Structure formats: C-alpha cells, structure tokens
Amino acid sequence: MMKRIQWVDIVKGIAILSMIMGHSLTGAPGETLLSLLIYSFHMPIFFIMSGFTTKILDSKKEILEKVIRLSKKILIPTIIIVVVCTVERIAFNIYDKDVFFKAIGSALFYAQPTPLRGHYTVDAMWFLIVFFWSKGFFYAVTYLMGLDYAGVVFGVLAYICNSFSNTIWLIQSWDLVPLGCLFMWIGGEFKKNYPVIKEKQVSIFLIAFVIWMYGFQNQVRVDMATRLFPNFVFCLIFIVSASFCIIYFSEGISGTKLGDCLAFFGRETLPLLYINAIDFFWIWGTKIDGYAYTLTRVALDIMMLFVWILITKLFTKLTFRSKVLAPKS
C-alpha cells in the first residue's frame, strides 16, 4: 500500500472543509470574497491531487481492475446517497412521493448538480460521478499515449466541452470529464517534476500568488459544477495558481498540530462529502443567518463524522471478535 503523504491529506482537508463552507455561505458579511476564495480551487484541487497520487497503468487488466474497485468504492455509495436525498426531499415536501423512482433515475442518469437544466439533481454527488469517469478516461488515455502527450487530448476536449457548456450539459456530466482529466494530468506532471519544482517553489509561489490575487481583484468567479469559466484559459491558470498556493501552504504546515488536524479531515473526505449531502441543513437550519449558519453546519457535519467513525470502529471490532470466537469446523 502506498504510504500517505501528509501534505496531500492537508490539501484534501482544506478542500473538503472549504466545500462544506461553500455550500453554506448564506447572507454572511464578506460572503462574496470568501466565496471567490473557496471556488478558486476547492473542487479542481481534488482532481489535481488525484493526478498526483495516481499511478500510470500499463495494462488493460490493471485498468479494468482499478475501474471495478473504484465503482464499488464510489458508485454504490453514491447511489445510496441519492436514494437517501430523494427520501429526504419527499419528507420535506420538495418532491411528490409519486416521483420517487423517476427522481432517482433522472438524477443518476444526468448527474447534474442543480435542477436548472430541467432534470432532478444529484447535488454534490456530481463530483463523484465525474471523478469516476475521469479516473477511467485518464487511465485509458495515459495507457495509450503516456502521461506527457495525454495532456493534449485532455486540453483540447476540455476546451471543446467548455465551448458548448452554456447550452448543453451531457449525461453523467460527461462534459466535465475532460476537464477533470486535465486537472489530473496537471497533478501527474506536478509529481513527475516535483524535485525541480521544489528547488524553485518560492519563485513559483510568488508568481502563482500574484495571479491568484489578480483574479480576486477582478472578481473572477469559477464554478466547476455549473460550468462557470468566464475566460476559460485564464480560469485554468487562475485555478492552478490558487491550487499551488494551497499546496505550498499545506507543505509549510505539515508536521504541525494544525497540519495534523487538517490531514485527519483530508483522510475522511468521502464520509464528509456524503454527510454534507444528506444533512439537509439548508432546509431545517434556515432560521440561522450569516456565519452562524455556516459554522453551525460545519460543526454539525464534523460531529456526524465522529459519530460515523465511532460506529464503523465499533462494527469492525464486533466483526473481528465474531470471527475470532466463531467455532472452527
């Protein structure tokens, strides 16, 4: 098993906590600035880090095994979460109970993050569906062309998909898959050239920070889920610059108590994503305003995470004990 790199977990921890905050910024002072900050990196950086930790596969058998494992790890829980969210919507009278199966089928088929296109929404689960397809497509293209040349395919396809995203969103959010692969390719190249980058990281950070701040100053807002890239090429540079700054910061706090705390949440990104999707705080927490709303939702999701960890550990211990005590035939 590959040894975990703490600063990678820190990056993921920052990203997942930013996602929860981004989903709960309602009427808070400075909401626009904080939203611009969060949406400049929080979902793309997951793909970049995935590319950093993904091994380039060199056989069809390995690719098939990886995709099957990934489907069990991601797609099955995603279906369960969509079913739970649909039940919650019916309970809160957002959906009529007669559309239960239609809502689930439409949500999973289109995998759209919002109902704006006339389909039932899969909410934050769009990310995992796109992540699954991006992983598979990334494995296939890099197997055929190698990492370096695959970037051309991902870049061209991402640009083409972005050009029609104002009018068409593909089923399973497949128009986002080339973009996800492009970010993964950037992460892969980052890992490949990591020793060289480390030597010049201060200079690179200064350049990246200036670009990041320039984007803030001009209020550049990007949103991968809703295909919001007002100037596609600059937005890519802006996102990569923001991500590098987050990576640089994460490396800097690695080994500290703050780093340990953020790395913990980074190791629990999937449970936190699921919890945030089913907490439905945006319905029953509407009487809370501003940052109190945001902080309450973050605290709630973290508390639910600890409950989940406690339950899974207890279940693991009981399962292990039952196997040990089981009579041998």
Burial class for 320, CB neighbours closer than 10 Å (0-12, 13-18, 19+) = exposed
Look-up of token digits 């449970």: 271
Kindly indicate the confidence band of residue 323, based on its pLDDT and cuts at 50, 70 and 90.
Answer: low
User: Per-residue pLDDT for 98 more than 70?
Assistant: yes
User: Per-residue pLDDT for 329 more than 60?
Assistant: no
Let me know if residue 329 belongs to a domain. no
Exposure string (b/e) for 194-224, b if CB count within 10 Å is 16 or more?
A: eeeeeeebeebbeebeebbeebeeeebebeb
Cross-strand pairs, 223: 228
Q: How much is the pTM?
A: 0.93
Which carries the bigger pLDDT value, residue 290 or residue 253? 253
Give the end-to-end CA distance of the chain in Å, rounded to a whole number.
33
Q: What is the pLDDT of residues 187-215, one digit of tens each?
A: 999 999 999 999 999 999 999 999 999 99
Let me know if residue 235 belongs to a domain. yes
Let me know if residue 283 belongs to a domain. yes
Kindly report the average pLDDT of the chain as a whole number. Answer: 92
Q: What is the pLDDT of residues 76-87, one digit of tens each?
A: 999 999 999 999
Q: Are 266 and 12 in contact (CB under 8 A)?
A: yes
Let me know if residue 1 belongs to a domain. no
Number of domains in the chain: 1
pLDDT the model gives residue 187:
97
Q: What is the pLDDT of residues 106-132, one digit of tens each?
A: 999 999 998 888 899 999 999 999 999
Q: Which amino acid is at 22?
A: G
Kindly indicate the confidence band of residue 31, based on its pLDDT and cuts at 50, 70 and 90.
Answer: low
DSSP class of 73:
I
Look-up of token digits 């949500």: 107
Let me know if residue 328 belongs to a domain. no
pLDDT the model gives residue 27:
65
Let me know if residue 253 belongs to a domain. yes
Let me know if residue 125 belongs to a domain. yes
Q: What residues make up the domain containing 104?
A: 6-322
Let me know if residue 116 belongs to a domain. yes
